[in-house]
Structure formats: structure tokens, C-alpha cells
Structure 1
Amino acid sequence: MAILVYAEHDNVSLKPATLNVVAAAQAIGGDVHILVAGQGAQAAADAAAQVAGVSKVLLADNATYAHQLAENVSLLVANVGKAYTHILAAATSNGKNFMPRVAALLDVSQISDIIKVISPDTFERPIYAGNAIATVQSSDSIKVITVRGTGFDPVAATGGSAAIEAVAEADDLGKSKFVSEELAKSERPELTAARIVVSGGRGMANGENFEKVLVPLVDKLGAAMGASRAAVDAGFVPNDLQVGQTGKIVAPDLYVAVGISGAIQHLAGMKDSKVIVAINKDEEAPIGTVADYFLVGDLFQVVPELTSKL
């Protein structure tokens, strides 16, 4: 049994989510191979070769894969994946973009967002915004799976010595083209990889309060800043900060929720955090059901005082 893991990378280094997917692959059992598709991605392939437990790295280095266009990547993964029993990718925006296409090309069902491996053909995945866990068994000859990174501890990024093989295939379907991209830049840690996350909700009242009240706490803790959907929809902060079922899934060591009531959609994105601290004036707020520490009070008094004590 051989398992193909699609690598998330920036052509230079692997993104942390790849290590979680490799962990899921190892839980299934069998040889684990990593596919690196990109342009000028030799450094990423070298990094993949060092991942513990990986026996082979496949490098598809071509301009066709420079911007990870879903049509081209899915065809590559489907063609390479025919030789494998399982194809795994992270349940990131990229994985969610091309993996359903892979499943369609292979005429199999996709198993999405798994959080646990029961056996090589049986997996657990959250449904109803994480309020229930479904056990899914697949009889497909090739299992196409996306992995929720927070469900698996990452494997070591070093310690391996896998061989690297070139993949000559490079089919450009010409159905889409890369035009441009605008990347949000921040000196703070990336939201999905941060050890500490401080998020604000509707209770922040406006965007100015995020800057005046929340940012000093975020910077004092060396944390990433997040937000609830309500705060994003109200225009307080950009949507790339949204934590939740329709935003980013996080599981930091410490999650601080400020002025967030705790709607199901938000809880689905952060309830796997190791320690959850909630600050809210409503002692009946749903966030209290998952919080390890719940401080009832006016955030505009509590947060500045907390920041000053750190």
C-alpha cells in the first residue's frame, strides 16, 4: 500500500500543514510519498525529502504549476495518483480547490476534512459545524482525502532521507490563467500556524477598537490576530482574519476570545485549541461552554488591564 501526499509549499519551503497530512498518511500505514508541484521548487522538494517517515519525493517542476492552478494540478495529481491507494492533501483553500477535481477525474468519492484514521478505509470527519462526528467507510479503490490539520500532530520536519524523482508530466489545459495576487503581509505569526491567537468579535464595536484595545494585547503576547465572522461581516477587520467554519481552522496552544459570543460557526474553527480563554460581559455566552477560563467583564476595561499586567 502506497500513499501520495500533496505538498503545500511556496517553492522554497514546506508549509506546516504538509507535516500534519504526512502524520495522517502514516496513521493509515504503508509507504508515504510526497508530490511537490511548482516552478523552481527544488528547495521545497529537498525539504520534503527530510520529512520523517517519507520514502520518496516526486518533483513536478514546470511553469505549468507555477501558480497552483487547480485545473492543471488536479490533472497531475489524478494521473500520478492512479498508482496509489490513497491520495491526501491538506484541507486548506488550495486543497479544497483541486482535490474534488481529482476525485471527479478518478470517478471516486472524496472524503473531506478527516480528523482521525480508524483503518485504511474508515475515517472520522466533523459534520454539522463540528457538533457531530461522522464515521465514513469507503470502498473506492483509490481514497481521495483532505485532512484537517488540527486533527493530527505534525511529524518531524527533519530526520528523513527520501529519494527525489522528477515527474516529466506537464499538461496545461489552458482553462484558466494566473492574472495577479495580493498577499496580506504582517509581522505577526501566520494565523493557522501561530501558538497563540487573540480574536475579537462583534463586542469590539468597531475597527478602531481592534487597533486600540486588541492589538496591544496581540503584540504583547507575540500572537496572531483573528476575528469572528460577525466582526468581519461588519467590516471591522479584513476577511483573512476570520476564524470559523467558513474561515480558518486554528488549534493554538492558547486561544483568547474577546467579545465573541461563541456561535457554532466560530466554535467549529477554534474549539480544538489547547487552552481557551474567553472575555465577555455576557456570562451566558455560548463561548463559556468550551472555555477553560471565562472572565465576565467589560472588555474595554479588562483587556487594557490584562495587557498592562503582562
Structure 2
Amino acid sequence: MLITGGAGFIGSNFVHHVIEHTDHHVTVLDKLTYAGNLASLDGLPDDRLTFVKGDICDATLVDELVAGADAVVHYAAESHNDNSLDDPRPFLDTNIIGTYTLLEAVRRHTKRFHHISTDEVYGDLELDDPNRFTEATPYNPSSPYSSTKAGSDLLVRAWVRSFGVKATISNCSNNYGPYQHVEKFIPRQITNVLRGERPKLYGAGLNVRDWIHADDHSSAVLTILEKGVIGETYLIGADGEKNNKEVVELILTQLGQPADAYDHVTDRPGHDLRYAIDSSKLRDELGWQPRYTDFSAGLAATIDWYRDNEAWWAPQKDATEARYAAQGQ
């Protein structure tokens, strides 16, 4: 199995999951940008894992690696909304051109392909909307990040229809868990509190996200690879809707701090109100179920991981906070 972006947050969790739950050999292709970290793959057996540093836009390298794989799972992406607002170009390069490069390789070599995407391609929902995103929800992306992910999804669909590529797509809600870069919402707040600093909350903190533990995302992707219907899209979610204020207050409470010990910062431009996933197709047709159905328990396990792995996140922390401070966030 070739896994792109396998040294990133969600990708590295998938690598751990595959090696623990299958007998597959894994090759990881990762550019090791700021969001990739080889330490996220520490402890995995050398005879089951091969790491290749490289760019998914490198057609020669991609062709060589795809030729030697049975299946390709495409996690590699530029994925941070704030960064996409500051400089959209890397998002076009990686999310559009990189996906195209992989699709052409799997087309030449007739390989199984699974494309990892996001619920952000659907835009957002009103806070009081009774509906959730489904596979039939029209695309309505609102940032350079989500628009390039939407574009990559459409490329995959076109390559399935036009060229017969054996591909599936999954759109997942917000992930949390081990190995997530401290620029992201939950690890940023956890590591702030662990350092004796106050968490930061965009605006009033009423924006809602549908949280899923990264290990549940991994098990869903493996299920789709094994049982999914070629050409189909599956939404992955664990019914974990929480607004950002609730999440910050829960982090503070679980770390023994007053629930209101946080600061408000300027809201992000175009900040989506609410994401909510209906994953009934994945559950009903493929039999998948999440393990972490209690967000509070999953968050507690995540806090424990960051408390126990400061050596992993500390080198990233100062630079991340300096960048946010320069942006007034």
C-alpha cells in the first residue's frame, strides 16, 4: 500500500492503524513540509514500512512508486484554512496538481485508488439547520483550501468516469487525536494549557465542528478500501458535533483549570458556521461503526497523549504561536 502524506497527522494515524490491523507492507511518500514529522512514524517495524521523501507533483517518482503498489491511499494535502488565506498557491500545487499526478499514475498502472477529502467542500450549515451533509449535498467551498479539495474530488470523479480508474472518495469531518500539528485547534488549546498559557478562541466560539477521532477515520478508510464500491463517495463522521467554546471549556476542565480561563481573538475571515456529517451510507452499506462514540473520552485520551509526548510537539510550538501572534490570533 502506498500512502501519500503518511507522515502528516491523519496519514500517520492511518499508517499505524494499517500496520496494527493488517499484514500489508506500507510505503509512505511525504514531502516533509512543516506539517509532516518523521517522528510520527517512530516505533513502526522496518520490515513493514518504507519511507520515501518526495513530492506528489514529481511525476517520475510517483509513477515508480505507484507501479510497485497494489493500492494508493491519498492523504497528502495542504489543509490549513488560515494558511490558504495567507498564500493560496501551495494549495493549488498540492491539492490539484498533486492529485492529477497520482491519478495519471494509477490510470497507467491500473491500481486501486482511494482519495481522502473533507466535509469542508460542502461549505457550511446554519447553526439551527436540522440537516447534515450527505453524499448528495452540492459543493459550496468557501476558502482556497476547501475549493482546491473540491477540485481534487471532481478530478477523481472525472478519472473514474472518463478513464475507468478504480477509485473511491471519502469526505471526513474534523479529526482529533495523536500526532496533530499544534497549529490546529484542539492541540493548540491543549498545549497552551500544558504550558500554563491561556487558550485562544475565534470570535464567540459558536462555530460547530463534527469531531471524529483519527483512529475511527482510519478504520473507516480501511473499510472503504476493502468493501467500498468503485466510483462511490462515502462520508465519515462519528456524530461528534460540538461548538468551539464547548471544546475549549472541556479541555480546560479536563486539565483542572477554570472553564472560562481562555481569551477571545479576532475571528477568521469567512469562518464556516457549522459542519455536520451524515455517515449512514458508510454504516448501513459497509457495516462500519466508530469506536470513540464519547467525545469527552476521546478528548481525554488525546490530552494524555500530548501530556506524555511533549518532545514531539514542543519544537513546533514557539514558531506556531509566533505566527499566530503576528496575525493577531
Place the TM-score, normalised by the shorter chain, in its bin: 0.3 to 0.5
TM-score by length of 2: 0.35
TM-score (norm 1): 0.36
Higher strand proportion, which one? 1
Pick the structure with more helix per residue: 2
Structure 1 or 2, whichever has the larger Rg, is 1
Higher relative contact order (CA 8 A, sep 6+): 2
